[in-house]
């Protein structure tokens, strides 16, 4: 009986993985692109795409905007056969850190209790002795992530400087752990001790300015929602790149024909004029976009906190009346 040969993409994956684990390709080095794989191994573009997707899901490579696919600085070490770590060395902290590493490099969808056990070199069921379920693990991960940055004991002067620091601190955490933005909608906040530290900081910045409690919470939620909303795009791009094997720049190149068709239709004159004036195209930079939006957001808060516009006082009064009104069902 003939033995079925290994799929071509797996052989290529094994070779690139060998180059990484042997040190031939170091963290930050570019790995062969899809076109490079096609040229070197003589396979189809779809096969080359599958190669990079597999390596990305394994955590060996990552796609960087304007750079391409490179060796990840968190590339996993080669597996150790027939060897497990002693049970007494396993702690909840180690489990949480290993799970965060997986989510950071591969996305939250790639996280599993079995995968955490494999990364730690322990039996598949061992993590359950310290963490009850994957859902419990994700909450522990989130609390640990939000606890990675705090605030000074002596806050800066003024509400604006405090909220600005709060927004930038949250952005740095979402930037380091994009999966945080996927965990819960604003309507179902995570009640985690370290996350409450950030809420306390924002509310303390607003305290003493004569705002009613609803307005204080509105400002706090708007600031958090602004950061979380932008951060959602970070994780979505990570997942899209991992699933398709196509970088952000590569995807835009593939959309050139569709974009040209929309422009040529004449139905979107302003869009066409604006895009035509962008000599080098438009590049979405999340960090710059965050900074660009933070200033106007705080300017808007100033009109409420400092009472700079009299019409807003009327709106605030009406808002308070509406939120304090109880609608009773007919009996």
User: pLDDT tens, 227-276?
Assistant: 999 998 887 776 676 666 676 777 777 888 888 888 889 899 998 888 88
DSSP-derived 3-state class of residue 68? strand
Both tokens assigned to 269 = 């004159």
pLDDT band for position 83 (cuts 50, 70, 90):
very low
Both tokens assigned to 291 = 């900074």
| Mean pLDDT calculated for residue range 121-147 | 93
The burial class, CB within 10 Å (0-12 / 13-18 / 19+), for 31 is buried
Q: How far apart are CA 208 and CA 268, in angstroms?
A: 48
Query: Cα angle at 324 between 321 and 330, to 5 degrees?
Result: 110
Give the global pTM.
0.66
| DSSP letter string, 43-54 | --HHHHHHHHHH
Distance of CA 43 to the CA centre of its chain: 33
The whole-number pLDDT of residue 257 equals 86
Cα separations in angstroms, 188 against 16, 26, 184, 238: 43, 42, 6, 24
Q: Is the pLDDT of residue 133 over 80?
A: yes
Residues 178, 145: contact at Cβ < 8 Å? Answer: no
Type and span of the H or E element at 305:
helix 286-305
Q: Is the dihedral of CA 266, 271, 274, 275 positive or negative?
A: negative
Which region among 115-119, 205-209, 278-282 has the lowest average model confidence (pLDDT)? 278-282
| Short-list 109, 250, 249, CA closest to 178 | 109
Query: Cα angle at 29 between 13 and 74, to 5 degrees?
Result: 70
- Tracing tokens 């900081």 back to the chain, one arrives at 201
Query: Cα angle at 29 between 25 and 33, to 5 degrees?
Result: 95
């Amino acid at each position: 009986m003939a033995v079925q040969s290994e799929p071509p993409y797996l052989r290529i994956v094994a070779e690139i993985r060998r180059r990484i684990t042997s040190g031939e390709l170091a963290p930050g080095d570019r790995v062969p692109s899809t076109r490079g794989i096609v040229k070197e191994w003589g396979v189809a573009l779809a096969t080359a795409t599958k190669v990079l997707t597999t390596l990305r899901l394994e955590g060996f490579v990552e796609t960087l905007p304007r750079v391409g696919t490179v060796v990840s600085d968190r590339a996993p070490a080669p597996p150790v056969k027939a060897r497990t770590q002693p049970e007494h060395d396993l702690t909840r902290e180690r489990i949480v850190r290993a799970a965060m590493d997986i989510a950071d490099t591969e996305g939250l969808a790639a996280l599993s209790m079995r995968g955490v056990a494999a990364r730690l070199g322990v039996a598949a069921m061992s993590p359950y002795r310290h963490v009850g379920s994957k859902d419990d693990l994700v909450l522990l991960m989130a609390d640990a992530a939000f606890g990675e940055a705090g605030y000074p004991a002596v806050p800066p002067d003024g509400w604006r400087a405090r909220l600005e620091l709060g927004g930038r601190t949250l952005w740095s955490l979402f930037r380091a752990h994009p999966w945080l933005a996927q965990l819960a909608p604003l309507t179902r906040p995570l009640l985690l001790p370290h996350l409450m530290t950030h809420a306390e900081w924002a509310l303390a910045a607003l305290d003493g300015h004569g705002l009613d409690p609803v307005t204080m919470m509105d400002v706090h939620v708007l600031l958090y929602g602004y950061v979380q909303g932008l951060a959602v795009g970070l994780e979505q791009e990570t997942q899209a790149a991992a699933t398709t094997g196509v970088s952000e720049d590569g995807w835009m190149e593939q959309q050139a024909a569709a974009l040209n068709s929309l422009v040529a239709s004449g139905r979107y004159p302003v869009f066409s004029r604006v895009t035509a004036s962008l000599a080098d195209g438009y590049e979405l930079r999340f960090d710059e976009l965050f900074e660009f939006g933070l200033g106007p957001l705080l300017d808007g808060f100033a009109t409420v906190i400092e009472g700079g516009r009299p019409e807003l006082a009327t709106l605030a009064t009406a808002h308070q009346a509406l939120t304090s009104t109880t609608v009773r069902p007919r009996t």
